[in-house]
Amino acid sequence: MATSTQVFRQLLRELRSIYKTSNLQDVPAYAYMENQFRRFQVTGEKECRGNSDVQHMAETYLCLLRSTRKYEELSTLYKGKGERSIESSARMVGLGLPPKPGEFDDPPRT
């Protein structure tokens, strides 16, 4: 299990990629998070229920940010480009479309 410092660093990285600012101190969400981490920090190895709660919540939030980002990355990578045109699907199987009326050499009789 990752230590709380590791989770905090990773959360920092995610927030930085969202807010795109060098100074995260101005971001309220960051300030809140830092405050939570500080407040529930427990020195030493003493088992503390409150601390593990915060740890679990931080990991869950990290998971949310990371999964959402990766989901978006993947779905933009593999997103469909809409339907194929009739011409390009015909070309896929080695066929062509019949020439359009305007492309005849002779002008249509009137």
Partner 1 sequence: MAAPLSLAGVRLRILISQPLRFSGLTNQSQCSVPLQAIFKRHYYLNVRELKRFYKNATIATADGWYEINLDKRKLRTPGGNLFRVPNEALALAVATEWNAQEKLVKRHSMHLTQLCNTAIDNPLRKTREDLTESVISFLDTETICYRLEEPPELQALQTAEWEPILDWARDRYGVTIESTYGIAPPLITDESRNIIRRHLMAYSDWALFGYQYSVDAIKSVLLVMAVMDRHLNVERAVELATLEQIFQSRRWGTVEWHHGVDKYALQSRLAASTLFVHWCSENTSVRQKASIASQ
**Interface with partner 1, residue 63, by CB under 8 A:** yes
**Interface with partner 1, residue 26, by CB under 8 A:** no
DSSP string, the chain: ---HHHHHHHHHHHHHHHH--S-GGG-HHHHHHHHHHHHT---TT---HHHHHHHHHHHHHHHHHHHHHHHHHHHHHS----PPPHHHHHHHTT--PPPPGGG-SSPPP-
**Interface with partner 1, residue 19, by CB under 8 A:** yes
Shortest Å, Cβ 109 to partner 1: 39
- When the beta carbons of 21 and 87 are compared against partner 1, the nearer one is 21
**Interface with partner 1, residue 40, by CB under 8 A:** no
**Interface with partner 1, residue 28, by CB under 8 A:** yes
Specify whether the CB–CB gap between 12 and 24 falls below 8 A.
Answer: yes
Residues in contact with partner 1 by the rule CB under 8 A: 15, 18-19, 28-29, 32, 36, 52-53, 56-57, 59-61, 63-64, 67-68, 70-72, 74-75, 77-78
